[in-house]
Amino acid sequence: MKSSKTRPATKVTLGMVAEHSGVSPSTVSRILNGTAVVSQEKKDAVDRAIAELGFVPNPIARVLAGGRSLSVGVVTQAIDSPYYGVALRGIEEVLDAAGYVPLFASGHWNAKEEQRCIDTLRARRVDGLIVLTGRLSDEALRKLGKELPVVVTGRNLKASGLYSLNFNDFEGARLATHHLLSQGHRKIAFISGDPVHPDAQERLRGYRAALEAAGVKYKPALVLPGMFHEESGLMAVERLIDSREPFTAIFAANDQMAFGASLALYRRGLRVPDDVSIVGFDDLAGAAHSIPPLTTIHQAGLELGRCAAQALLDLLADRKPTAQLPEPRLIIRSSTRGA
Amino acid sequence: MKSSKTRPATKVTLGMVAEHSGVSPSTVSRILNGTAVVSQEKKDAVDRAIAELGFVPNPIARVLAGGRSLSVGVVTQAIDSPYYGVALRGIEEVLDAAGYVPLFASGHWNAKEEQRCIDTLRARRVDGLIVLTGRLSDEALRKLGKELPVVVTGRNLKASGLYSLNFNDFEGARLATHHLLSQGHRKIAFISGDPVHPDAQERLRGYRAALEAAGVKYKPALVLPGMFHEESGLMAVERLIDSREPFTAIFAANDQMAFGASLALYRRGLRVPDDVSIVGFDDLAGAAHSIPPLTTIHQAGLELGRCAAQALLDLLADRKPTAQLPEPRLIIRSSTRGA
DNA sequence: TTGTACGCGTTATCAT
DNA sequence: ATGATAACGCGTACAA
């Protein structure tokens, strides 16, 4: 029985291919990696042998011998993050198309764990690294970049072997706030993210800039601390309501907090958008199907992943990365309306 | 300057540890792997040398030499799935605690891609495999189990080297439907999942069983096809409303479709739960913060991941896995009320 | 209990 | 352009 499925039943090695096609192992290796010019004649013979034998190179042996592993490490913060999850998909997509395999590891927003991830990944000899908005110091990242190609998001570092990709959080927040302002809202609450996070600071800046541009006085009582998750958004609004500080709109520094905020409003009998308008940030998958569909700032997670992977591929191929993230866009849905 | 951080600046090998402690490489290896009994004296010397040199075994070389890779392949369907995402976190968590590293790959609900993932993972010499509800045939899985330890979810296969973990979808659906019934609902629509999916069939069975037990006649016009995503839930309800088939409650085969259904209701001016009650299935992270908070069947994704990983660890250690998934539980929130 | 020698499958170096 | 040979770092027979 001749099986058309070419999956190696018994391990077939490069050496066997060499023998089968009457050339030396080195030649086979050269053909596989395009390391040197080989006569068309031998190339054909080897290709045929590879097909006949169903040979698949052993990536383990390859890397031990000093070759590339064709794998890249991706350190994210939580493998199940609704935002970064889609970024991972983007990374997977473009890496796969280029023959690379992603190795994911989660740092859990903890510099120490993150360092452990990186150590593990490097022990596994990844060819490069993508770090999604980590807690590591810029210095540590810079040093890392000297040792292997690295792409980081959420930073603005520049160095050879290190490429940064950053969203314009400031502009996104400005856009969101301006949208509310343009609809006549003046008492706009802001649910901030974890201040440790640079993104959170930028978004606060954007909020303030929009206010200022519109001649609306910034009121500290209207900015509530949050932690980027639903519960914190909910509690922020509860506190806000209890404080009796009047407001007609809320801008949450991310969608998850916006969801929590909506729920708090719902519980207090306040209607969105009739009683209060609300805008989020990120445009998570769920934003379009929340009730009401959430007006938000689109921060393309998928694009983020794709760009990061593409940039790393460039670095790996000794090309200069040019990937740029798209500018944030306001997505108007149904959670906002005139004051 | 003496750095307390013990990260190998220069690669330190097992051989160097051997030399540094005056023993042979084999002895070091034995100590590392507990392969044989070694005198306490040498053991201490080696341990000291390891600490002093900051030695970290090279996993690549280790596996090439025939040892374990301490990595396990995890094939999921989409790296950004809201349900499986948390399962991945559970897997990561228990694997990590045992010194294993997960390698994630996405099959995208496609048997061919799934097979590719498995081939890649095996080429990377994973010690075992976790397959989350794949499209692969039972036969293929059985064969795989003969070659390396495998844990699958969403199936009921039994074989040595192969462990299955399955939720009681039937019971979950029965519970959900019964809840609606017990509140006086009689015209209960069911938004089904993709029928290709065994889970979807089981849930339909559970729905019918509950109906029958309550003496309510099953009405085909009340079951709408869905595809497990929001949009399909939304369209299902639109069709249902347009069909003018009366209904007072909806049971969606998963939360995502329930969200979509809620949105359709909202758009048509129908209130949840005042006009129609709705219950979902899965208990996604977002279910608790949707508006209104969704009554649903808790299918512990985190537990699923943990159990799968634990079972694989057992298999790997030649223990008999005993992990069992918890029974589905009804989580009553605010999307359901009396008819 | 411990050490020696070899092999894992590939790439890199150095010849030719 | 091609081949022989030596690594890569570790595990494991086998011998002692």
Virtual torsion, Cα A58, A60, A62, A63, nearest 10 deg: 160
Whether pLDDT at B311 is above 50 = yes
Please give the single-letter amino acid code of residue B224: L
- Spatial separation of the C-alpha atoms in residues B100 and A120, rounded to whole Å: 11
pLDDT bin (cut points 50, 70, 90) of residue A10 is: low
Whether pLDDT at B7 is above 50 = no
Indicate whether B262 and B315 sit together in one domain.
Answer: no
- Spatial separation of the C-alpha atoms in residues B80 and A134, rounded to whole Å: 19
- Flag whether A273 is in a domain: yes
Indicate whether B24 and B40 sit together in one domain.
Answer: yes
- pLDDT on residue B267: 97
CATH number at residue A38: 1.10.260.40
- Flag whether A176 is in a domain: yes
- Flag whether A121 is in a domain: yes
CB of A134 closer than 8 Å to CB of A294: no
- pLDDT, one tens digit per residue, over A229-288 is 999 999 999 999 999 999 999 999 999 999 999 999 999 999 999 999 999 999 999 999
Indicate whether B174 and B294 sit together in one domain.
Answer: yes
- How many of the other CB atoms lie within 10 Å of CB of A194? 16
Whether pLDDT at A217 is above 80 = yes
CB of A272 closer than 8 Å to CB of A278: yes
- pLDDT on residue B10: 66
Where among B66, B96, B127 does a domain terminate? Answer: B66
- Flag whether A56 is in a domain: yes
**A187: its two tokens:** 């008492």
Number of domains in chain B: 3
- Angstrom distance, B119 CA to D2 C1': 33
Indicate whether B33 and B79 sit together in one domain.
Answer: no
- Flag whether A339 is in a domain: no
Residues 244-283 of B with CB under 7 A from strand C: none
Of A7, A123, A230, the CB nearest to B56: A123
Residues 43-62 of B with CB under 7 A from strand C: 61
- E strand or H helix at A92: helix A82-97
- pLDDT on residue B339: 83
Q: Are B120 and A101 within 8 A, CB to CB?
A: yes
- Flag whether A132 is in a domain: yes
Q: Are A56 and B292 within 8 A, CB to CB?
A: no
CB of A204 closer than 8 Å to CB of A176: no
- The half-sphere exposure of B290 on its side-chain side, counting CA atoms within 13 A, is 34
Beta strand ranges found along chain B (DSSP E): 71-76, 101-106, 128-132, 150-153, 162-165, 188-191, 223-224, 249-252, 277-279, 296-298, 329-331
CATH number at residue A238: 3.40.50.2300
Indicate whether A114 and A234 sit together in one domain.
Answer: no
CB of A292 closer than 8 Å to CB of A333: yes
- Angstrom distance, A46 CA to D13 C1': 34
Interacting residues of A67 by C-beta distance below 8 A, sequence separation 6+: A33
Phi, psi of B163 (to 5 degrees): -125, 135
D12 nearest neighbour residue (CA to C1'): B26
Indicate whether B278 and B197 sit together in one domain.
Answer: yes
- pLDDT, one tens digit per residue, over A71-118 is 999 999 999 999 999 999 999 999 999 999 999 999 999 999 999 999
- Flag whether A2 is in a domain: no
- E strand or H helix at B273: none
Indicate whether B252 and B185 sit together in one domain.
Answer: yes
Q: Is the CB of A79 under 7 A from strand D?
A: no
- Bases in strand D with any atom closer than 7 Å to a protein CB: 1-5, 7-13
The percent of residues above 70 in pLDDT, for chain B, comes to: 97
Q: Is the CB of A70 under 7 A from strand C?
A: no
Average pLDDT, integer, range A119-134: 96
Indicate whether B305 and B162 sit together in one domain.
Answer: yes
- Angstrom distance, A78 CA to C14 C1': 49
pLDDT bin (cut points 50, 70, 90) of residue A8 is: very low
Phi, psi of B130 (to 5 degrees): -120, 125
Domain range for B94 is 71-167+301-327
CB of A156 closer than 8 Å to CB of A315: no
- Flag whether A18 is in a domain: yes
Work out the widest C-alpha separation in chain B, in whole angstroms.
86
CB of B35 closer than 8 Å to CB of B64: no
Taking contacts as CB-CB distances below 8 angstroms, the residues of chain A near B123 are: 56, 58-59
β partners of residue B165: B153
Whether pLDDT at B273 is above 80 = yes
Nearest to B121 by CA among B103, B142, B148: B103
- Bases in strand C with any atom closer than 7 Å to a protein CB: 1-5, 7-13
Indicate whether B137 and B284 sit together in one domain.
Answer: no
CB of A164 closer than 8 Å to CB of A155: yes
Where among B66, B84, B107 does a domain terminate? Answer: B66
Looking up tokens 């109906």, which residue turns up? Answer: B211
Q: Is the CB of A27 under 7 A from strand C?
A: no
Q: What single string gives the DSSP state of each residue in B136-165?
A: S-HHHHHHHHHHS-EEEES----BTTEEEE
Q: Are A56 and B123 within 8 A, CB to CB?
A: yes
- Spatial separation of the C-alpha atoms in residues B336 and B339, rounded to whole Å: 9
Q: Are B60 and A58 within 8 A, CB to CB?
A: no
Indicate whether B133 and B46 sit together in one domain.
Answer: no
Indicate whether B277 and B319 sit together in one domain.
Answer: no
Q: Are B288 and A259 within 8 A, CB to CB?
A: no
What average pLDDT is seen over chain B? Answer: 95
Indicate whether A222 and A291 sit together in one domain.
Answer: yes
- pLDDT, one tens digit per residue, over A228-244 is 999 999 999 999 999 99
Q: Are B124 and A60 within 8 A, CB to CB?
A: yes
Where among B46, B66, B86 does a domain terminate? Answer: B66
pLDDT bin (cut points 50, 70, 90) of residue B310 is: very high
